[in-house]
Amino acid sequence: MSEESTTTSRSYLTPFNMIAGIIIILGLIVTALRFTKGLATVTNLSDYNPWGIWIGFDLMVGVALAAGGYVTSAAVYLFGMKKYHSAVRPAILTGFLGYALVVLALHYDVGRPWRLPYPFIVQQGTTSLLFEVAACVALYLTVLFLEFSPAALEWLGLKKVRRLAIRFTLILTIFGVILSTLHQSSLGALFLIAPSKLHPLWYSSYLPIYFFISSIIAGLSMVIFEGTLAHRYYAHKMDSAHMEEKDHVALGFGKAASFVLAGYLITKVIGISAGNHWHLLGTGYGIWYLVELLGFVGLPCFLYALGVREKNLVLIRWTAVLTVIGVVLNRLNISLIAFNWHLPSSERYFPHWMEIVISAFIVTIGLVAYRFIVSRMPIFYEHPDYKESH
Amino acid sequence: MEGMLHTLHEFMVYTKGITYILIVLALFGITGFWLFLTGGDEEKK
Measured between CA atoms, the residue of chain B closest to residue A261 is B30
Is A140 domain-assigned?
Answer: yes
- Reported residue count of chain B is 45
Tell me whether 0.90 is exceeded by the ipTM. Answer: no
Q: Is A204 on the interface with B (CB under 8 A)?
A: no
How many Å lie between the alpha carbon of A270 and the closest alpha carbon of chain B? 6
Residue A60 lies in a domain: yes
Residue A2 has pLDDT above 60, yes or no: no
Closest CA to A301 of B44, B23, B31, B33: B33
Residue A9 lies in a domain: no
How close B27 gets to chain A, by Cα (Å)?
A: 9
Q: Is there a domain that residue A101 lies in?
A: yes
Q: Is B29 on the interface with A (CB under 8 A)?
A: yes
> Which one of B14, B36, B39 has the shortest CB-CB distance to A276?
B14
Please tell me whether residue A124 adopts helix, strand or coil conformation. Answer: coil
> Is A31 a member of any domain?
yes
Distance (Å) from the alpha carbon of B28 to chain A's nearest alpha carbon = 12
In chain B, which residues have their Cβ closer than 8 Å to the Cβ of A297? none
Residue A1 predicted with pLDDT over 50: no
Which chain A residues are Cβ-neighbours of B11 within 8 angstroms?
276
Instruction: With beta carbons under 8 A apart, name residues in chain A contacting B42.
Output: none
Write the pLDDT tens digit of every residue in A207-246.
999 999 999 999 999 999 999 999 888 888 888 888 888 8
Cβ-proximal residues to A84 (8 Å cutoff; 6+ apart), any chain = A72, A75, A76, A245, A248, A249, A252, A253
Q: What is the CATH number of the domain that holds A146?
A: 1.20.1630.10
pLDDT, tens digit, 9 for 90 and up, residues A290-310: 999 999 999 999 999 999 999
pLDDT band at A92 (very low <50, low <70, confident <90, very high): very high
Question: A181 lies in a domain?
Answer: yes
* Cβ within 8 Å, pair A273-B19: yes
Structural domain total, chain A:
1
Domain that holds residue A100: 17-380
| Position A1 in a domain | no
Mean pLDDT, chain A, integer:
91
Cα separation, A140 vs A134, in Å, equals 10
pLDDT digits (tens, 9 = 90+) for A100-145: 999 999 999 998 888 888 888 887 677 888 888 889 999 999 999 9
The answer to the question of residue A330 being in a domain is yes
Per-residue pLDDT in tens (0 to 9) along chain B, 45 residues: 556 778 999 999 999 999 999 999 999 999 999 999 998 666 555
Taking CA atoms, A335 is separated from A38, A198, A262, A346, B11, in Å, by 22, 8, 24, 18, 29
Chain A residues whose beta carbon lies within 8 Å of the beta carbon of residue B20? none
